[in-house]
Structure 1
Amino acid sequence: MNRRTPFTHFDADALRVSEVISRGASKGRVQAKDMPRASHGIIVNPSLMPLHSLELRCRALLPVLRPTDAFSRFTAAELYGLALPRKRALGVRDPLPIDIVTELPARALRRAGVASHSVRAQTVEVHRLAGLPVTSPADTWCMLAGRVSHERLVALGDAVLTGLRIDRGGGQRSPPLATLAELYAACAQHERSVGSVARAAALPLLRWPVDSPAESALRLRIREAGLPDPQVNCPIEVEGRTLHADLGYPTFRVAIEYEGRYHFTGGEEQARFDVERHELMIAAGWRVLRATARDLRSPESFLRRLSEALR
């Protein structure tokens, strides 16, 4: 086969070098520039290049995955759409290595660009996500314990129990990724692994529905200050319909709204929506406290206002 002749026998996202050779390519041909390597011994279908997404990077590793392997930890969380800490905060290079778990007694997969680890047999449940073997959302949450902060672990658990927001304005969510019972069952399976203390501390604090990590963080700030736990997605009856504050205290008729960045960048329509919403809550006899990212960094002023409102 001439080096310049396109290789047209790809019927997968990636193939082992030996498979490409068995389909007619010479040993010299597989060294050509149009035979991109995803990892040692793996040639990627050129139509997928560059591997600009995590999903494509995972697909490129499928030829070397064994039945005992699955994508896990940070990789699984990102594939499920869960919000993760910034890469810089993790102290790792860009892109992040691909997390792959292997069930014992098989040996962990050793390969450049892969962060491998092992678990006891029958510890994790594996789901198929767009054709990829991925640890279940409950197992993924358990395996992130001890690797992210307490605050982030609670926020990830809230997101797992809530489901992901489909459209910010309409209030539509995907189904929950897991139930609380499934999280407890997974924690029992992982009780002897890294993060058991972190899981035990975070599990009782999980709530749903919660729409953002910032709302979870604000709830923890309130709790850490010794104030009563607020109700998430607090219902407020206004003019024959029900609005839901991010957090609230029905007994005290105090509502808390977290104003994320989109509230300030959403333009006139978003601003008008927010104003009308808050005016309706106030007209229904509720006091509305608004919090921003600054209140998460320096919560003293907000907590003082909240304490006064509850008194």
Structure 2
Amino acid sequence: MRALLKGFRDKQFGVFTTAQARIEYTRAELRARLHRGEWVPVFHGVYREATVQPGPELRVEAARLSMGLPVLIAAYDTAAELHGFSIIEGNATHVLGVQPSRSKQLVVHRDRLHSVQVASTNGVPTTTAARTAIDLARTLNRMDALATLDAAGGLGLAPDELGEELSRHHRRRGFRQAVDLIALMDGRAESPMESRTRLRCVDAGLPHPRPQLEVLTADGSRRLDLGWPQYRIGLEYDSVAWHCGLHAAARDNTRHNQLTTQGWTIFYATAQDVLHHPATFTEPIKLAISRARPCTR
């Protein structure tokens, strides 16, 4: 890349515009690099090199340049990416503004914003962590919303901060959902699927389970994804990544045996169960709780 364009690129999170490229390159040279795949379009009139990863900083800057704005504020899931608690898999870039987008991969939200709701993350203007979490808690489906709140809590965002932010969203769509889910958020959850599993239990009318429950056995401390210590009942999310491999079966069987020896009953839930058939694990747990004698210690 020629020197002047490299300077633009380095100041713009790895992207550059057609106009900037045309200072040093002819139209034919620009088309040739695009044809060879050396340069890749991000948004209209904005490119990146194929070797540069399109992270949220790059995408927001590309959106700003494409829209011809002096400042552009990242919002919703793109802001969550920047703050480190996004749980949504997708490539769309979410920003605040009024100008409609030409791309399905660029979502422009016409939300009002107070100055206290603006932050800077990695040099990118963004909604604050609290504003971002509330926006997603209001608008995502309940399972993804709780998983987002748990992830934000795991990074230190406190319910009090969320409550203060929530007061600014009264009468907005999803306000009641956000209120209900903030009461359930728990930063101890270690994955989005654990958060979704916990919500399935709560929605089924089960007592609220404790995330990442430590259980002391004769062979040391064992940790359960979710548990009801008063009934000595545990629930494990059966992740393929964790439960596959050469030593997985031996490890899991030993762990299960140690817990059952201590009087624990362990249930398991798969992704299919959690997403589509929660009764396959919530109903057996209900039955086990109805038959259990509560423990006092």
Other-structure match for 1:122: 115
Change (3 A) 1:136 1:32: same
Offset of 1:252 from its aligned partner?
1.2
**For residues 222 and 186 of structure 1, what CA distance do their matches in structure 2 show?**
28
Residue deviations 1:239-272 (CA, integer Å, cap 9, x gap): 37432211111111112111112244x2122222
Which whole-Å CA distance do the structure 1 matches of 2:250 and 2:100 have between them?
55
Alpha carbons 1:263, 1:271 under 8 Å: kept: no
Instruction: Show CA shifts across 1:31-71 (max 9, x none).
Output: 644375543454x35xx22665343433433544534x221
Q: 1: distance between equivalents of 2:206 and 2:194?
A: 16
2:265 to 287, 296, 305: 287
- Residues 1:112 and 2:102 are matched in the alignment: yes
SS in 1 for 2:246: helix
Tell me which residue corresponds to 1:77. 80
Instruction: Write the distance in 2 (CA, Å) between the matches of 1:61 and 1:17.
Output: 14
Q: What's the counterpart of residue 53 of structure 1?
A: 54
The whole-number CA distance in structure 2 between the counterparts of 1:40 and 1:299 is 44
**Identity of counterpart residues, as a percentage?**
23
Let me know the Cα RMSD of the aligned residues.
2.9
> How many pairs were matched up?
271
TM-score scaled by structure 1?
0.74
Distance 1:198 1:123 in 2: 23
8 A Cα contact 2:60 2:95, kept in partner: no
Structure 2 residue runs without a partner (length 5+): 292-297
Residue 220 of structure 1: aligned partner: 199
Mark the CA change 1:33 to 1:152 in structure 2 (over 3 Å): closer, same or farther.
Answer: same
Q: 1:28 to 1:218 in 2, by over 3 A?
A: closer
* Distance in 2 separating the partners of 1:177 and 1:66: 32
Structure 1: runs of 5 or more not aligned = 1-5, 88-94, 103-107, 163-175
Q: Which residue of 1 aligns with 2:146?
A: 154
Tell me the residue number matched to 1:239: 218
Secondary structure of 1:233 counterpart: strand
Relative to total residues, which structure has the larger helix share, 1 or 2? 2
Give the superposition deviation at 1:277: 1.9
> What is the match of residue 245 of structure 2?
267
Cα pair distance change 1:120/1:62, threshold 3 Å: closer
TM-score by length of 2: 0.77
